[in-house]
């Protein structure tokens, strides 16, 4: 699977079922049968869908943490809070549990953001707030993050 790409608007039904757009399913076809992990995001009030392979790699790193160090134990507990293994059902939907719907304040309209190796699920209003940045602020952020990588980073 290559990097995931795209932004899609969808609707979650009253039971928390999220129908995946055809373009999303097409990008996930290689990993669909393995299932996915659905979890809270760390830095934003949204949810994340991880492929099972990517999740196993993440958990392999986390499993190396010493659980007898309190901050490590606290991190693991918070990182895995609300984690659910989910599958795409026969109708092409993913079930979002009530606790995760509540965490992300998902109403009905959502935005799926395919972001390299993870799919973010945002309440539409929260997503609009998150991306509403001043162009000069974003330019400064881009320079801070990517500007000093002269030899390591090249645009096509």
Output 79 or 142, whichever has higher pLDDT. 79
| 110: Cα within 13 Å, side-chain hemisphere | 29
**pLDDT-above-70 percentage for the chain:** 94
- Quote the pLDDT of residue 3: 86
Q: Which of 11-25, 49-63, 81-95, 137-151 has the lowest mean pLDDT?
A: 137-151
Would the pLDDT of 143 be above 90? no
Match domain 4-124 to its CATH number in 3.30.70.1380, 3.40.1550.20, 3.50.50.60, 3.10.180.10. Answer: 3.40.1550.20
How do residues 11-44 score in pLDDT, each as one tens digit?
999 999 999 999 999 999 999 899 999 999 999 9
How do residues 42-75 score in pLDDT, each as one tens digit?
999 999 999 999 999 999 999 999 999 999 999 9
Residues 6 or more apart in contact with residue 103 via CB below 8 angstroms = 40, 45, 47, 82
- The answer to whether the Cα torsion of 118, 121, 122, 128 is positive or negative is positive
- The answer to whether the Cα torsion of 13, 18, 19, 24 is positive or negative is positive
Contact call for residues 145 and 74 (beta carbons, < 8 A): no
Contact call for residues 103 and 45 (beta carbons, < 8 A): yes
Output 86 or 116, whichever has higher pLDDT. 86
Residues forming a β-bridge with 94: 18
What mean pLDDT is predicted for residues 117-139?
88
Residues 6 or more apart in contact with residue 100 via CB below 8 angstroms = 38, 39, 40, 47, 82, 84
Would the pLDDT of 134 be above 80? no
How do the domains of the chain map onto residue ranges?
4-124
- Quote the pLDDT of residue 24: 94
Residue spans of beta strands (DSSP E) within 41-137: 47-51, 84-86, 93-95, 109-116, 118-123
Residue with the two structure tokens 């049968």: 33
- Quote the pLDDT of residue 61: 96
- Quote the pLDDT of residue 137: 81
Cα gap 104→121, rounded to integer Å: 8
Output 77 or 147, whichever has higher pLDDT. 77
């Amino acid at each position: 699977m290559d990097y995931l790409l795209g932004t899609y608007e969808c609707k979650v039904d009253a039971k928390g079922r999220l129908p995946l757009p055809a373009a999303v399913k097409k990008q996930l076809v290689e990993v669909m049968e393995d299932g996915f992990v659905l979890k809270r995001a760390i830095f934003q009030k949204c949810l994340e869908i991880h492929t099972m392979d990517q999740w196993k790699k993440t958990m392999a790193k986390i499993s190396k943490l010493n659980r007898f160090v309190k901050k490590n134990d606290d991190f693991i507990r918070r990182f895995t809070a609300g984690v659910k293994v989910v599958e795409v059902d026969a109708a092409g939907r993913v079930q979002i549990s009530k606790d995760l719907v509540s965490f992300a304040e998902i109403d009905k309209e959502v935005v799926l953001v395919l972001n390299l190796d993870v799919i973010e699920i945002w309440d539409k209003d929260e997503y609009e707030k998150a991306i509403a940045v001043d162009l000069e602020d974003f330019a400064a952020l881009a320079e801070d993050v990517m500007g000093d990588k002269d030899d390591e980073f090249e645009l096509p």
